[in-house]
Amino acid sequence: MKKRKKAVCIITAVVMVFMATGCAAGSNNNAGKNTKQNVEAVTVNTFVQESVGVYEAEKAAWTGNVKVVSNPIMEGYSGTGYIEGFEEDSDTCTFTVTIKKDGFYDLNFRSASKGGEKHNYVSVDSERLGTVFVEAEDFTDAYLTRVYLVAGEHEISLSKYWGWIWLDYLEVLTAEPIDPSFYEIKADLSNKNSSEQTKRLYSYLCDIYGKKFLSGQFCDTGQYGKEFQIMKKVTGKTPAVLGLDFIEYTPSRVENGSNGYATNYAIDFWDNGGIVTFCWHWNAPSEYLIGEWYRGFYADATDINLEKIMKGEDTKGYELLMRDIDAIAEQLLLLKEAGVPILWRPLHEASGGWFWWGASGPEAYKKLYILLYDRLTKEYGLDNLIWVWNGQDAEWYPGDEYVDIIGEDIYPGEKVYTSQISSYLNAAKNYSNERKMVYLTENGCLFDTDLARRDGAMWGMWCTWQDEFVAKDTAIFTLSEQYTEESMLKKVYEDKDVLTREDLPDLSTYEIRSSDSGKGEK
């Protein structure tokens, strides 16, 4: 049997209970006008993480295929055994846990993978809070961190998402407080030659981080499309951020008759006082398509081998990728000429493996990301890009010098309004060696901003995906409540800390913040 060790963490900090107090270089006087910070702080000299209970999986309640392993082959387990059988959506293990004091707790599901990366759902009292991840094939810790539990009895469940794990036990531990400095961001862009307008936008983003949430919405037909019209109809407000995609400018799609309009939509929205973010569903070159051409960004629709290309073993493939990058650079240059800075999120969700740029593993991906960064910033002189990295796994991180903001894409299910604090903290703590802003760059349902403030999950932005996440199929301008109910949508958009386009300052004149002195400059 493997003996558990008591987890100990010692810090000296001022503990933030609700919200951060500001950014590292000082507060810009343009930020957060007519707002009041809701901050409560207490002084703590040391923090020692303590275990408040260990619950063996073989003694928990199960549903579906979940069962105790009859002939244990794994080593290092605790208690009398461990369980398996997370194979169907109905497969669940539920622990009954008693909490003596209201507060934040870490949930450690000691588990092992049956092969490869595995994510599974965690719920507390039937409310889904997030997922835990395990990849090791021997028993290891898998945490959902900073879960708020009131004193009393709770049912904590692990249920099948990807499934296929062995589960040893659940341990509940006190959670480390969040130091207010956690939200302090230096106003330094990765591209030291960024334009003044880009610096102005980034300074604003730094100044509001930890205090405000930027509202965002993807809409491939621009600010007058159905998703934006629904937001306006239901809330009376316009999202601060417009999410767009360069997909239709990709050569293999143009070859099949696609036309792109996103560049014009971006210019119009910026001119109307909004902020623009772009992703790029990069359709592989036609020579590598093996499925439907319009699915060419998916790994299963192409036989492109990025590893061979990046190793120089497929020179034709390299030339075709450079051609594609050049096509998108043309659009980015148009945005530069129009004075539009953008939150640029290329090669997203790589670690999932479902897109071809992630199918060859992290090393090939990082080489492509760095190549893309160098080609756009150095060769094309694109100084209007704020680089948002969205690889979603520390092993895939290309380096701080290529990243300005970290993005997470989360689709937790229908009407799941929890803050996703565990994912937020994982991204903020485990990817970068520096402190970076963390954005929710794609989401299905919205999170409850009250819960986000309570938990400390101060996502700098959310950006809801389009189509069924907002609109009903049968009525173009009618809200679909499948993922976010109308009452929650209104609550979030009416929150004093949620910024819409109507709340944004004039970003063309916003003060540029110096990370060294904290003083803005015109």
Q: Active-site residues: which are they?
A: 349, 442
Tokens representing 462? 């959310």
Question: In whole angstroms, how far apart are CA 286 and each of 107, 260, 303?
Answer: 47, 18, 10
| Amino acid (1-letter code) at residue 304 | I
Tokens representing 281? 């569903």
Phi-psi region of 394 (alpha: psi -120 to 50; beta: other; left: phi over 0): alpha
Euclidean distance between CA atoms 179 and 12, whole angstroms: 9
Q: φ and ψ at 33, to 5 degrees?
A: -65, 145
Map residue 113 onto helix, strand or coil: strand
User: By the 8 A CB rule, do 409 and 349 touch?
Assistant: yes
Q: How far apart are the first and last CA of the chain?
A: 65
User: By the 8 A CB rule, do 484 and 415 touch?
Assistant: yes
Other C-beta atoms closer than 10 Å to the C-beta of 467 total 13
The one-character DSSP state at 269 is H
Tokens representing 388? 């948002």
Q: φ and ψ at 83, to 5 degrees?
A: -120, 165
